[in-house]
Structure 1
Amino acid sequence: MSTPDRSKYRPCVGTMMINAAGEAFVGKRIDNREGDWWQMPQGGVDDGEDLVEAMLRELGEETGVAPDHLQVVHQMEGELFYDLPPELHGKLWGGKYVGQRQAWFLVRFTGDDSDINLEAHKHPEFCEWKWVEPDLLPELIVPFKRDVYQRVVDDFKSRL
């Protein structure tokens, strides 16, 4: 299989944040309240930004979790790509990208649930959150991201 043209995919980081019980954090997106889709924290990488810095920034913005409550366990090798469904082409990210290319991290959350604050950022992304068994993650995400989530679960499974 050939590698997609990286310039057509938005650079992004994704994070599987797990608690002491090995459960993964998922949030329900504010912009999709009517659907029952849940996702792990993810977001764009700014120009010149280090991937670990981007991951910690995005995780802080989306969950309110401070870096001192996190331990980076593993970074997946390479990037995972996904395409937006045709109905979303041209509607996100100024129409510049056809999907995202993601660097994925596994981090251990060492804080208490009270350290999670979905309203920590001025533009919250999630309206609800919960801990789930990692094997359930592919079932919870929107269909066009399922393959990525399965690959993340498979890669991180031995490190949970």
Structure 2
Amino acid sequence: MSGDLSAYRPNVGVVLFHPDGRVWLGRRNNTPGPYNWQFPQGGVDAGEDLIQAARRELAEETGVTSATLLGRTDGWLTYDFPPDHQGGKPARGWKGQRQVWFAFRFDGEEAEIDLMAHGEPEFDAWRWGKLSEALEVVVPFKRPTYEAVVRAFHDFAG
């Protein structure tokens, strides 16, 4: 996307690939279904390198630190918050989020996955699934971004 990105909160997203090509999906804590699963994502701190932000968010939201970088998306992907969006980000003046996405291969043992790693959990459950499955379970306003991510990282799914 080109144009003025200043109204979009800087953010990173992470697709964590199991060595067999499946991806890590987390169910958003205290969020009713059916569209309550997503990949880890989060804000970029002022002055923070994007890859560092991605590794930090992955560790905070999943406990995972044993991961090898596979790739990243080019440029920023954006989405707008819907008018009825709950949460503080629109109240703080953000129109939506701009994201760079990173693909990592999980190199650890599943015991490393700890949804309470950072205290307040972002997710209350997790599972391995197919990359394309994310399109069916993510909140609809994020779906176009997820479509771009699925296209970008398709080759890592095997």
Category of TM-score, reference length = shorter chain: over 0.9
Q: What secondary structure sits across from 1:12 in the alignment? A: strand
Q: 1:126-153 CA distances to partner (integer Å, 9 max, x unpaired)?
A: 0000000001111110000001111100
What residue is the counterpart of 1:50 in the other structure?
49
Which of the two has greater helix per residue?
1
Rounded Cα–Cα distance in structure 2 between residues aligned with 1:28 and 1:5: 32
2:94 to 93, 97, 111: 97
1:152 to 123, 126, 149: 149
Deviation at 1:28, TM superposition (A): 0.7
Q: CA RMSD in A?
A: 1.4
Rounded Cα–Cα distance in structure 1 between residues aligned with 2:92 and 2:84: 12
What residue is the counterpart of 1:11 in the other structure?
10
Deviation at 1:31, TM superposition (A): 3.2
Rounded Cα–Cα distance in structure 1 between residues aligned with 2:133 and 2:4: 31
Aligned residue pairs, count: 155
- What TM-score results when the alignment is normalised by the length of structure 2? 0.93
Rounded Cα–Cα distance in structure 1 between residues aligned with 2:59 and 2:100: 17
Deviation at 1:92, TM superposition (A): 2.3
Query: 2:41 is matched by which residue type in structure 1?
Result: Q
What residue is the counterpart of 1:76 in the other structure?
73
Q: What secondary structure sits across from 1:100 in the alignment? A: strand
Q: What secondary structure sits across from 1:86 in the alignment? A: coil
- What TM-score results when the alignment is normalised by the length of structure 1? 0.92
Greater shift after overlay, 40-49 or 79-88?
79-88
What residue is the counterpart of 1:131 in the other structure?
128
Rounded Cα–Cα distance in structure 1 between residues aligned with 2:156 and 2:122: 27
What residue is the counterpart of 1:60 in the other structure?
59
What residue is the counterpart of 1:143 in the other structure?
140
Q: What secondary structure sits across from 1:6 in the alignment? A: coil
What residue is the counterpart of 2:24 in the other structure?
25
What is the identity percentage for the equivalent residue pairs of Structure 1 and Structure 2? 43
Rounded Cα–Cα distance in structure 2 between residues aligned with 1:109 and 1:45: 22
Point out 4+ residue stretches in structure 1 off by more than 3 angstroms.
Answer: none
Does the aligned pair in 1 maintain the 2:21–2:156 contact within 8 Å?
no
Query: 1:65 is matched by which residue type in structure 2?
Result: V
Q: What secondary structure sits across from 2:124 in the alignment? A: strand
